[in-house]
Amino acid sequence: MSIMYIKPGSISCNRIAIYLLGIWMVLAGCDKKPEPPDDPPVTEGRKALILNEGSYGNGNASLTLYNITTGEVHQDWFAGNNSGQVLGDILESAMLIGDRIFLVVNNSNKIVVVDRKDFRVQGTIVLDQPRYILPVSEELAYVSTMYHSKVYVINTQTLEIVHTIPMPYQNTEGLLLSGDYAYACSWDKANNKLYKIRTATHRIEDSITLAGYAPHSILRDRQERLWVFGGNKVYDITSSITVLQDNRAIRSYTFSPEAEIVKPVYNSRNDMLYFINVDYEYKTTQGIYKMHTEDTGVPATPMIAAGNFQYFYQITLDSLTQQLYIADPKGFIQNGDMLIYDLEGRLQQTIPTGLGPSKVLFL
């Protein structure tokens, strides 16, 4: 649009100004919807889909797409591929099942299902406070849920809830499939059990006593042992790890009362553990820790120390490149960064993200 310059104070200036003001008022009165953003180009190459939780209660979760092959970074990837549609409030996790991605939007009480290639919405599953998804068969998956004493069973083809599994405690978090059973961690301050669910019947068949309370995460090492992580600093429950073999505890680790051990991952060999120690007082113990599965004690110093007034929020391992993607949310008051480190703790790259970056899904 060209801009006409008129000398201030002239009669013609005043007349034209009134004329332009009238046009503006007419246009302003029109109920014209804004044009949706252009769809982002579909790019080739291997990709890292970064989940941005957003800030709690503001409904501003988003996706950042980082093309590992080309180095391109695309912000607002979900909205751009869905005519500006809002994803929701707190994008907690995501799971690739077949050709579709299941986006778990916790505080919006839904799972949004998108096509893997074009990211367009295929459907939505409405359920209470979903957290994590665990596929248990070709058609079924378990969904853990916050603030409720149950696990959902969904059909990943029809996108329907087909069953619910009653749980003894609220806040089921981590899930793991092993043979015919799914193991479930209920992150309740009064709970010191790991629950074993038979996937054929969707019923709890057994429980295993743990060394600590409030279990939240579970992993399996290269020797098929289960590592269960517990603790909740808000309720003064000390962080712990219980190692299970053949459904019984064979070893346990206890951390200092100041520690909050969260977000554990293994390397690709499943013999080296990486986790975050969150210290809400920003002490020197805060950072990323490294621990071998045969270590007899817990590490004393971080492999990657957090900076001043910095805390790490999430770790994801890229098993192909052997790199750690570590989320820095910058206090959830501004757009964050995804920091890429090698397995020895050397920073390789920084990727700008949306608000509240957390997990990464590799595509």
On average, the pLDDT of the chain sits at: 90
Question: 255: how many CB neighbours lie within 10 A of its CB?
Answer: 19
Contact between 129 and 114 under an 8 Å Cβ cutoff? The reply is no
* pLDDT range class, residue 42, cuts 50, 70, 90: low
pLDDT of 39 strictly over 60 = no
pLDDT of 124 strictly over 50 = yes
* pLDDT range class, residue 310, cuts 50, 70, 90: confident
Q: Strand 150-155 to strand 160-166: parallel, antiparallel, or no bridges (unpaired)?
A: antiparallel
Residue 23's pLDDT is what? 36
Extended beta strands in 234-293, E state:
237-245, 248-254, 261-266, 272-277, 287-292
Q: How far, in Å, CA of 360 to CA of 363, rounded?
A: 10
Q: How far, in Å, CA of 87 to CA of 64, rounded?
A: 12
Specify if 101 maps to a domain: no
Instruction: Look at the chain and report how many structural domains it folds into.
Output: 1
- Exposed/middle/buried for residue 332 (C-beta within 10 Å: 0-12, 13-18, 19+): middle
Question: 250: how many CB neighbours lie within 10 A of its CB?
Answer: 10
* pLDDT range class, residue 308, cuts 50, 70, 90: confident
Residue 139's pLDDT is what? 98
Q: How far, in Å, CA of 314 to CA of 327, rounded?
A: 5
pLDDT of 280 strictly over 90 = no
| The two three-digit tokens of residue 275, written as one number | 């986790």
* pLDDT range class, residue 179, cuts 50, 70, 90: very high
Residue 284's pLDDT is what? 78
Which range is least confidently modeled, 55-64, 107-116, 219-228, 304-313?
304-313
pLDDT of 196 strictly over 80 = yes
Specify if 160 maps to a domain: yes
What CATH code is carried by the domain that includes residue 152?
Answer: 2.130.10.10
Specify if 55 maps to a domain: no
List the domain range (segments joined by +) for residue 177. 127-254
Specify if 134 maps to a domain: yes
For the segment 11-38, the average pLDDT, to the nearest whole number, is: 38
Residue 311's pLDDT is what? 84
Specify if 228 maps to a domain: yes
Specify if 49 maps to a domain: no
Q: How far, in Å, CA of 313 to CA of 50, rounded?
A: 13
For the segment 262-274, the average pLDDT, to the nearest whole number, is: 97
Q: Is 13 helix (H, G, I), strand (E, B) or coil?
A: helix
For the segment 5-19, the average pLDDT, to the nearest whole number, is: 36
Query: Could you tell me which residues come within 8 angstroms of residue 23 by beta carbon, excluding any fewer than 6 positions away?
Result: none
* pLDDT range class, residue 41, cuts 50, 70, 90: low
Specify if 104 maps to a domain: no
Contact between 352 and 337 under an 8 Å Cβ cutoff? The reply is yes
Residue 13's pLDDT is what? 36
* pLDDT range class, residue 43, cuts 50, 70, 90: low
DSSP codes joined into one string, 304-362: EE--TT----EEEEETTTTEEEEEE-GGGTSEEEEEEEETTS-EEEEEEEEESEEEEEE
pLDDT of 157 strictly over 90 = yes
Residue 156's pLDDT is what? 99
Contact between 64 and 78 under an 8 Å Cβ cutoff? The reply is no
Owner of token pair 């295929």: 122
Residue 29's pLDDT is what? 39
Specify if 273 maps to a domain: no
pLDDT of 132 strictly over 70 = yes
pLDDT of 22 strictly over 70 = no
More reliable by pLDDT, 18 or 61: 61
More reliable by pLDDT, 17 or 360: 360
pLDDT of 123 strictly over 50 = yes
